Amino acid sequence: MILRKTLSSLVLMLLYGCHLHMAKTVMNGGDLEAALPEPRAYIPDSQNLDFVYHDHEELTRFLRATSARYPNLTALYSIGKSTQGRDLWVMVVSSSPYEHMVGKPDVKYVGNIHGNEPVGREMLLHLIQYFVSSYTTDQYVKWLLDNTRIHILPTMNPDGYAVSKEGTCDGGQGRYNARGFDLNRNFPDYFKQNNKRGQPETDAVKDWISKIQFVLSGSLHGGALVASYPYDNTPNSMFQTYSAAPSLTPDDDVFKHLSLVYARNHAKMSRGVACKSATPAFENGITNGAAWYPLTGGMQDYNYVWYGCMEITLEISCCKYPPAYELKKYWEDNQLSLIKFLAEAHRGVQGFVFDPAGMPIERASLKVKGRDVGFQTTKYGEFWRILLPGYYKVEVFAEGYAPREVEFVIVEQHPTLLNVTLQPSKRIEGIGAGGPSYYRPIPAPQHYRPVPPYVASASNDNGIFSTISNGLNSLYSNIFG
């Protein structure tokens, strides 16, 4: 018994020391990021990766070779297979690539969800190479990889890419997966029931993000030049393409900020220049997704509503599949944006939820007051939330514990570290025939989701008008992204 108590005390002391070390690292890391020089200009390593399009076998060889060459900075894993059996590879780039490190947020990029939009696919391969080749020479990259775990899925739709044609700027050949499904219309939707059959690629992504508490995400597309943010959908259904209006989240200020970070660090995007005379121009290079054109079953809304992950959609090329000789210019345009966007995971509030003994509480539910989309703690009790400077209150719930509300302030210079201790439910003697009982607060839901403005009637999602509306949306997205 004495030995058991001694060991328990040692475990608690180690955890407490780890929390203190993490707090210092976060605070120092946040201050350091503001003082670091911009990432240096890219110098390609021609022995590894050239500015050409890589088929799936070439992509796989590059990822495996990079993982073997930089074992201390990379880890390669597959989240599943495409319809035709191609691996959906993810490369982790971090100074701790093989396991989650306490205090380090997980972020991700997803490319090539539409098979005929492969510029993002190539940009992510070059981003991987830039990170690993610059870690020892670029202070900004070193800070980012030391304080973040970056997961990169270069292609979510390798089957569609395999049948796409270089030089094709418009159209739908290769857009869909091998079964003819648009993967960016294949996720559960907040505003409407999505009856489309789940696909292997989307099922793999859903399983992936259910296991890792991603804080920030970007999805790379082509066909326009704009950073688009949630919501992508709207309660309106009939002829929704032509009744486009903003559909704003409770975190609209954060999403606009994240989109502007990408657009303003991009060489051209923030100018808001239209790709063609017939296509829209976007003020400051950003747009609310539904204000552009609504869609049902999009990935960015799913990430945000279901898991509290801030994802935006990055349209980075006017031409969906431009000639390979233009790739170097696309990299020069996007390099700084791709890096600076990920650093935004260190903005806002982060910390732990503990029990009175200092042990972490897994899957505690948190919600910033006034922002109805919540988030949860990891198995280590960690949480992160991107917020702009200001005064906030967070509500914290966990089954078996009394709920708690905590006030905090966000400043510009560094993230706010906030540790929350929850007390067990209060004991109330002599209630009920069975003697002593315990008060338990209503169990917190697995995840907070906002209440829709209203639920559309069933007729909005069925019948000829819905069919016409869906057809118009498909045509519009094939042209513009």
Residues serving a catalytic function are 315
Under 8 Å between Cβ of 204 and 89: no
Report how far Cα 464 is from the mean position of its chain's Cα atoms: 35
203 φ, ψ to 5°? Answer: -60, -40
Total residue length of the chain: 481
Rounded to an integer, what distance in angstroms lies between the CA atom of residue 171 and that of residue 50? 27
Distances (CA, A) of 337 to 20, 59, 322: 32, 23, 20
Under 8 Å between Cβ of 120 and 113: no
Rounded to an integer, what distance in angstroms lies between the CA atom of residue 146 and that of residue 92? 13
CB atoms inside a 10 Å sphere around CB 457: 9
Q: Using CA atoms of 128, 131, 132, 135 in order, give the dihedral in degrees to the nearest 10.
A: -170
How many C-alpha atoms does 143 have within 13 Å on its Cβ side? 25
